[in-house]
Amino acid sequence: MTKTQHRIYLSFLLLIGAFVLIAVGIYGYRYYLTPYEDRFFNPLDKLLKPSGFLGHGFGIIGSIMMILGVAMYMVRKRSRKMLRMGLLKHWLEMHIFLCSVGPILVLYHTAFKFGGIVAVSFWSMVAVVVSGVVGRFIYIQIPRSIHGQEYSLDELKLLNFGYTETLRKDYNLHDDLLKRLDHFRSVESYETLGFFSVMGIILHDYFENASLIHQIRKELVKRNISHKSIDEIIKICKSKLVLTRRIILLHSVQRLFKYWHIIHLPFALVMLIIMLIHVGVAVAFGYTWIF
């Protein structure tokens, strides 16, 4: 998949998610805003109530999407036979899509009315989605190869050295400028940071890097370097700055990612178990939708 195809693929997934969220919301907002005791008299009640044609369908389709999203990504991640079946990050993106749109449909299935044991499943689902967003943020901070394999610290340092040599030999950047691109202290001083400390460093680093890139661009312009070369140099400098930050945060982020798994998995299991119980009870009482 080329970069253009990948962008189209991501845009398509985003559009579908936005369409589901907005279209159903617009169609049923008057019903969802109606007090629970008055919904029986609303013309959309037969369609949008949890046992209604659309409401029931939202629950079934949303549940299938979540189960499929979890299952396909876990199998792809752990099966050696599927290593060549697309890049892992593309499977992760599909996992995120299915496990984002699925909960949206389940939310519409509930008609925003939560109670009983199902409420435990719903709030577990919310916890899974929120922790998934956090997990995605942590995940992208860990440098990986194009096949999704984590780089070791030595590999990252070698890659960083390669950026430095490219800037020095191919573009004749001076050592004083290169030193400004390696502005972090030793890796060891960042080994045991918490989540909010990591967030703070990344946020601070974003603005610091933006200022540094602006300064470097101004200096390069003064040297009468071509715009094309400046753009190439700036691109490498940005990659080097991001890589430098990820090197010093590597141990902390890897530790946080392990803790994240401990939190994320139990919520997902509780959600799935109660959801299956809910489905079993619904089928036992004859709520089988169109089947």
The model's pLDDT over 59-74, given as tens digits with 9 standing for 90+, comes to: 999 989 988 988 888 8
Above pLDDT 90, what percent of the chain? 14
Global pTM exceeds 0.75: no
Q: Is residue 187 domain-shared with residue 268, that is, in the same domain?
A: no
What is the average pLDDT value for the chain, to the nearest integer? Answer: 82
Does 220 lie in the same domain as 249?
yes
- Is 50 a member of any domain? yes
Residues 79-135 pLDDT 10s = 777 667 777 778 888 888 998 899 899 889 988 887 777 777 778 888 888 888 888
Tens-place pLDDT, residues 43-58:
999 999 988 899 999 9
Note whether 30 and 127 are same-domain residues. Answer: yes
Q: Please indicate, yes or no, whether residues 132 and 170 belong to a single structural domain of this protein.
A: no
d(CA 182, CA 243): 10
Indicate whether 270 and 167 sit together in one domain. Answer: no
Q: Is the pLDDT of residue 26 over 90?
A: yes
- Residue 291, domain member (yes or no): no
Checking if the pLDDT of 156 tops 90, the result is no
Asked, for residue 290, whether it belongs to a domain, the answer is no
* Range in 25-34, 123-132, 137-146, 183-192 the model is least confident about: 183-192
Are 86 and 165 in the same domain? Answer: no
Quick one: 137 and 268 in the same domain?
yes
Same domain, 215 and 76: no
Task: Judge whether 253 lies within some domain.
Answer: yes
pLDDT digit string, tens, across residues 221-247: 887 778 888 888 888 888 888 888 887
Same domain, 216 and 82: no
Domain that residue 265 falls in? 3-148+260-284
- The answer as to whether 238 is a domain residue is yes
So what's the pLDDT on residue 186?
Answer: 47
The structural domain count of the chain equals 2
Nearest-CA neighbor of 157 among 191, 177, 182, 189? 182
74 and 175 assigned to the same domain: no
Q: How confident is the model at residue 17 (pLDDT cuts 50, 70, 90)?
A: very high
Extract long-range pairs of 91-98: CB within 8 Å, 24+ residues apart. Answer: 92/139, 92/148, 93/9, 93/10, 93/13, 94/13, 94/69, 95/69, 95/70, 96/69, 96/132, 96/136, 97/13, 97/16, 97/17, 97/69, 98/65, 98/66, 98/68, 98/69, 98/72
The number of CA neighbours under 13 Å toward the Cβ of 148 is 17
Considering Cα of 233, then 234, then 237, then 242, what sign does the dihedral take?
negative
Residue 193, by phi and psi: left (phi above 0), alpha (psi -120 to 50) or beta? beta
Q: Cβ contacts of residue 220 below 8 Å, gap of 6+?
A: 230, 233, 234
pLDDT at 260 over 70: yes
Question: Does the residue 72 lie in any domain?
Answer: yes
Same domain, residue pair 247 and 202: yes
**Residues 89, 9 share a domain:** yes
